[in-house]
Structure 1
Amino acid sequence: MENIVSLAISLAYILLVLGLATLVARIQGGRSEYSRKLVHILVGNWVFITPFFTSLWAVALVPFTFIIVNALSIRFHFFKAMTREHENLGTVYYAFSMFALSSAAYLLGWKELAFIGLLTMAYGDGFASLVGGRWGKHHPFSFAREKSLEGSITVAVAAFLVTLACIALIPELHSDLKTTFYSWQYGDSVSMRIFIAESILIALATGIFAAFVELTGKHGCDNLSVPIATGLFASLLLRYGSIGMTLYLLVALAILIYAFRKSAITADGIVAAELTAATLYAFSSIWVAGSLLLFFVAGSMVSKISNSRKRKGESRQADTGARNWKQVLCNSLPACVALWVSHFSQNTNTAALICFSVFAAACADTFSSEIGMLSSGKVLNLINLKSVPNGTSGGVTLLGVAAGIVGSALLAIPSAGQYGIRGFFFVLVLGFFGTLIDSALGSTIQQRFADSRGELMDAPAYPRQRATVGIAYASNNAVNMLTLIVICISAYFLKGLVIP
């Protein structure tokens, strides 16, 4: 009965919001930014109804319905008060964020995941557009010239206040912040001061992070990235935060900012990397968390080594610039998923071994590719051993093979701190095995295009060119992720060689 009542209240509330927005639009003489932002801000308040649902299907039904309704509205303009004349998928992303966060919050029991994420999107992102449009005079962000400093401050303040409110109103977060709620009642002034200080620092970090994520969002994607990234970041800090985690994230951020200034990573890549770092530290050991930083630093360094042969080889490849969020996720998502699954199944020791193997394989592939292209020797297709041009996916050189072994050995070093010498050799072998898998997949299933001479290359020779060989849309990023998934599975089934 509670679910039916909550669904009825949800429907009534959404209809009320749409009615108000339609009225505002008519007063404004048709479509207006004010009516759109009214919907954007008020719809987010639906999250206050979610605690009254008692079943997953019920809490997910409302946002799932609006994913479909919003998609149809973009096509047929059902709700003109909430659409632009040239609409992107922002409203669909908004509904999907509501669906993903409310469902995840219900399953995990993390109320703050939905509240912080969705309310930051509603109030922060909603008011940022209005504030920036009216008072935005400063545009200091080179990667987001259309965004204003005033709008970013609005996002940060909203996320800061929402996070503080959640800390104050969600009791289970108090013990997670290392200070019990009961200490307030018993007048423990020291514990109260610690609690307040921790709360403010976490809220401040969340606000700054949310503002940065909003800056990276393009074409309505901030309705997806801001709530999910902010909710996840804040939840990890609130439930697993410590002095060690804070220092680690600051070190990671410093490295990422330096890499950004050197054009080694994009702004959205920083968001993905910082979330990955938070996940690794929260759910695993310092050895695993450190391996991520080691991989990023080592990979970035070898990527900068160049000569004429490598530059020619890179001209045949796609996505050779700074690492973006897709590349970061394709190299880290399998490890993060393994940690999430293992954390809630109480099997973190196995997950750590999987993570070491994944990063060793990713590093081996990076070393093999980046250093291998420097070679003046023959480049052979790993499958048929025929000669191919330098830079062709699936091609290997003796120098590249040797570099792959070095890269895998480098990332195997942290595993020795947790698993000893047996773990080191396990990760080294599996990591090098990963670069061979990547080359095999690159020469078979990865999409490649023919140039004017009929030679294969990763990047299309002209717009809308169809792949000559391989599977359409199977890019290098997709091959990397598939390779690391194979390494995850292999490490899981072979873990007995290291873990008794």
Structure 2
Amino acid sequence: MLDSLSNTLNLPVIWLQIAIVAAWVGVVGLVALGASQNQADAEIVRKIVHVGTGNVILLAWWLQIPAWLGIAASIFFSIVTLVSYRFPLLPGIDSVGRKSLGTFFYAVSIGVLIAIFWQQYPYYAVIGILVMTWGDGLAALIGQRWGTHPYKVGGIQKSWEGSITMCWVSFVISSLLLLNVQGNSWQTWLVSIAIALIATALEAFSRLGIDNLTVPLGSAIVGFWLNSVLGG
């Protein structure tokens, strides 16, 4: 379908792929801008961007974006986010001087997962990014709004409501993707449970936004390793 559209528009496929992804990122940016202008909470704006941009990995998988392009985009946005910690390039997403490298780790994790898995096992990269995107994003929102049962891990305060959300969303995402790839087998369910537990534990121990790196990498690597061992 993409080749046919490319021929119709007389554009190379790669430019069409870039245009579709750029259009999605633009829509996410407009939604976030609209929310910000309507006095939405800053955390809501950040999570709109967090969830919206993370779903680019699904588009990239569907469009069969080449690995080099994903890695190049990751490097570019990693540099932009680092600069934004000093200068207000991304207002509403990162505050100047904010003591977190979460957005930087977010961009880095996408590039690393693409570099490791994209050629042969792209669905592990998708699992890792979506677990971070939806699991971590929803866990933060629910924990902050309805987290009435806090607990501490090494001085880090979390809530049981947020952690349960993280675990459940991670399990749903992992099982849906693995069901699509390897079918309804005991390995699919066992690996999905393991990914959910590991992702939840990594998110609970996070400091300074490091979970945006450890959660996606941990989820993808654990899923790949367990399926290799179990023959999934």
2:54 matches 1:44: yes
Counterparts of residues 7-86 of structure 1 (less than 5 Å): 7-28=18-39, 32-51=42-61, 52-53=63-64, 55-84=66-95, 86=97
Counterpart amino acid of residue 79 in structure 1: L
Larger Rg: 1
Residue pair 2:86, 2:97 contacting (<8 A) in 1 also: no
Aligned-partner SS, 1:76: coil
Question: Which residue of 2 is the match for residue 204 of structure 1?
Answer: 193
Question: Which residue of 2 is the match for residue 231 of structure 1?
Answer: 220
Aligned-partner SS, 1:223: helix
Aligned-partner SS, 1:161: helix
Residue pair 1:164, 1:199 contacting (<8 A) in 2 also: yes
Q: Distance in 2 between matches of 1:130 and 1:56?
A: 32
Q: How big is the shift at 1:94?
A: 0.3
Gaps of at least 5 residues in structure 1 are: 175-191, 243-500
Question: Which residue of 2 is the match for residue 134 of structure 1?
Answer: 145
Q: Distance in 2 between matches of 1:84 and 1:232?
A: 32
> TM-score, structure 2 length as denominator?
0.87
Q: How big is the shift at 1:83?
A: 1.6
Q: How big is the shift at 1:161?
A: 0.7
Q: Distance in 2 between matches of 1:43 and 1:136?
A: 26
Question: Which residue of 1 is the match for residue 8 of structure 2?
Answer: none
Q: Percent of aligned positions with the same letter in both sequences? A: 28
Q: How large is the Cα RMSD of the aligned pairs?
A: 2.0
Aligned-partner SS, 2:151: coil
Residues 234-270 of structure 1: CA distance to partner in whole angstroms, max 9, x if unpaired? 121123326xxxxxxxxxxxxxxxxxxxxxxxxxxxx
Counterpart amino acid of residue 45 in structure 2: S
Aligned-partner SS, 1:198: helix
2:114 matches 1:102: yes
Q: Distance in 2 between matches of 1:11 and 1:127?
A: 24
Counterpart amino acid of residue 187 in structure 2: E
2:230 matches 1:241: yes
Number of corresponding residues: 219
Distance 1:201 1:53, change over 3 A: closer
Counterpart amino acid of residue 199 in structure 1: T
Q: How big is the shift at 1:122?
A: 0.3
Q: Distance in 2 between matches of 1:82 and 1:203?
A: 31
Question: Which residue of 2 is the match for residue 273 of structure 1?
Answer: none
2:105 matches 1:93: yes
Q: How big is the shift at 1:86?
A: 4.3
Gaps of at least 5 residues in structure 2 are: 1-11
Distance 1:158 1:6, change over 3 A: same
Aligned-partner SS, 1:83: coil
Q: Deviating runs (4+, > 4 A) in structure 1?
A: none
Residue pair 1:125, 1:155 contacting (<8 A) in 2 also: yes
2:139 matches 1:114: no
Aligned-partner SS, 2:153: coil
Aligned-partner SS, 2:162: helix
Q: Distance in 2 between matches of 1:142 and 1:165?
A: 30
Counterparts of residues 292-303 of structure 1 (less than 5 Å): none
Q: Distance in 2 between matches of 1:131 and 1:142?
A: 19
Counterpart amino acid of residue 238 in structure 1: N
